[in-house]
A and B are shown apart, each in its own frame.
Chain A
């Protein structure tokens, strides 16, 4: 029972971080209808920027803020240079541009920061676990869980109550109709990309605080994909729920299935689960079902 509860809580906590990164995917998809395959690299960039500031002696929260600002600027630049010219093009082309961008960003990140693992030193969060009743929770996990919840509330109300949020959803639903209603697609895309850069920056910084930072952190954010799909690609609460479900699932399969399938079952279980899940619910838990007409 103890083991079960421990697995459950640590699953929820890891799920909190997954949910943060998953938010980035969902935001871009919800705003522009594009599956952003460069998400892992965005995470890396955000994390490395805040790490660089932090190792220069800037306080942690301030360096996180700097990384958000730089993420914002980079998001607008990316949109202006690459994606601006693709407004009105088929969605596949845009997705493939994000694949190209992911190579480009990855190469640049490796050029600037190298491939060695770097750590936040001195450590930002204390290594001692916080005690909650019979359970122990790492401080990083707790904070990222709280951050995920806070961002969830911010973004849900952003999409529900502000003009910009509604304009973004309209663009994602039907770009042509939104354009004819006077929504500026350029603005929407720029906003979507800067928001995604910033969300990924927060997620990446927290991830970097757990095990240090190297290129594989970007790969980890690919592992978040099952979470996104599970929740439905365009549902913000879905991203959070999916992230937490996947976190729990991963931890349980790590604890209970590792005996039967030694090795990397922990990383793979979410993908297998996702592939099977899609057979039964092709749009995830809360994704929009698109009704196709010829």
Chain B
């Protein structure tokens, strides 16, 4: 109940912010990206953090969400919510398919297989003229703004709703049988099986949910940029960020990826504006190396240690 009240307050805050006048439009533009990373980091953590299966194929899921939205918009002028729903469903289906093919593999073999999915899908999109192929596709935003002043503000609020939804799902999973089973898989898959955990089934469920959430994070992207092209959509830096943010925040709890994403994505946006766009991934990379060496359990681990030492 307390959590639901917090969520309602947060969403009200976002609604108020996006309705306020006198705020530079760039705030919402950057806010959209930060919230998108909250979803991506949270989604990655469901499989990567809870179960210990490192998915490097994040751009594939984002792209399925984004290109599904493009196809739905171009073919039937589908509204934004239908685009998001469609993107989520197809990305979830991709998660299930990739899971069926790869989740019997463990460790590095699974990770390599997920990278392969990115290259396969990028090749398909590069040769698919309906969605613009390698050169991309320009999109005209619809005039439907609900009651917002601009489309960017509306997308910012939609992303906030999706982020809260994603975090709520991750939190529910963590406290459920599924979360307990995934943690058991991460600690010892063989012992988990012998304790009655249907390991393949729960990994498939996690991969599907994780994929679907990445898909819904990608679906509003074409409308956000009014443009889509494969090189940036399938950029592997999404994988580095989606992996780095939970590791920096802490993978053991649903709040870890949220902390990591808010800190890092905000820092990235500041670096983009004040220094250079090229330094974005470097920021994540340097922090990732530092945290892996100094605090492998992330910020949450540091807080836990600090609490224990102050007792």
Are A and B part of the same complex? no
Q: A residues touching B (Cβ–Cβ < 8 Å)?
A: none
